[in-house]
Amino acid sequence: MRRLFVGIEGSIGIGKSTLAKWLAEQLGYQAMFEPVDANPYLSLFYEDMQRWGAIMQLHLLHARKLMHLRARLSPTGVVQDRTIYGDTVFARNLHESGLMSDLEWDTYMLSWETMVQTLVYPDLVIFLDGSTVLCQERIRLRSRSMESGIPDAYLDSLGAGYARLHDEISDYTVCRRYDWTDPDANRQAVLADIRAVGESTGFSWSRLRPTMLPEDVR
């Protein structure tokens, strides 16, 4: 099986990190995790989403770009907990909910478009589905104080955003969705699907994304 770059997407608390760690152990891949502890804005964001949302998303966009480049240079396959493409779900959600201004959104999108013109999609993107109630239960179990007050409406909108992301990128790379209500029921299916993709494709970095820039700035 050829080495792959596998991305895992899903709402807060769904179980991405746990799955990434398990898959890396099973496949002998490198696991790359979302930089939660190194994010200087996260606790501030949960205190005041409107004040800190835009700058936090710009910070995360740059951090994920670096992770993406490191994945490309990895001598082994990679499993990444949330990709640069999934980052747009959170930024768009903030904008559509009024927590990011039009000007801030335009600045974010300028940075995003500049970055992704030189990137390609992972070989496989795994989407983990689960209800808001399920995510809230898992958030409570992991007991991160900064996440204790996340509104249900915020998680609802993230779920809708991930459904849209799945539809957007399915034209450009392999995507798989799994019900993650009971991880034990589908974990082996995820592993089997990764191995199947590895038999049919490889670490090609050939799937470039068409530009979405307006014609006047291309």
Q: What are residue 130's phi and psi, to 5 degrees?
A: -170, 155
- Give the dihedral of Cα atoms 107, 112, 118, 119; nearest 10 deg: 170
| Cβ-based neighbour number of residue 131 at 10 Å | 16
215: tokens are: 């014609």
- Displacement of CA 194 from its chain's centroid (Å): 17
The predicted structure's pLDDT at residue 77: 92
Contact 195, 147 (CB under 8 A): no
pLDDT, residue 98, reads: 92
Phi, psi of 74 (to 5 degrees): -65, 135
pLDDT at position 209, please? 47
Using DSSP bridges, classify how beta strands 30-32 and 5-10 pair: parallel, antiparallel or unpaired. Answer: unpaired
pLDDT along the chain (218 residues), means of 10: 89 94 96 81 87 94 90 89 92 93 96 86 94 93 76 90 92 93 95 91 48 46
Active site residues: 81
In eight-state DSSP terms, residue 40 is T
pLDDT at 25: 96
Q: What is the DSSP string of 190-207?
A: HHHHHHHHHHH--S----
pTM, two decimals, is 0.86
| Nearest-10 Cα torsion for 127, 61, 31, 135 | -40
Domains of the chain, earliest start first: 5-212 (3.40.50.300)
- Cα gap 123→194, rounded to integer Å: 9
pLDDT at 6: 95
Q: Taking the CA atoms of 19, 25, 28 and 32 in sequence, report the sign of the dihedral they define.
A: positive
- Angstrom distance (rounded) from CA 133 to CA 153: 11
**pLDDT number for residue 212:** 47
Q: In this structure, what token pair is assigned to residue 192?
A: 């089997």
Structure-token pair, residue 7: 């991305």
User: Can you give the pLDDT at residue 1?
Assistant: 67
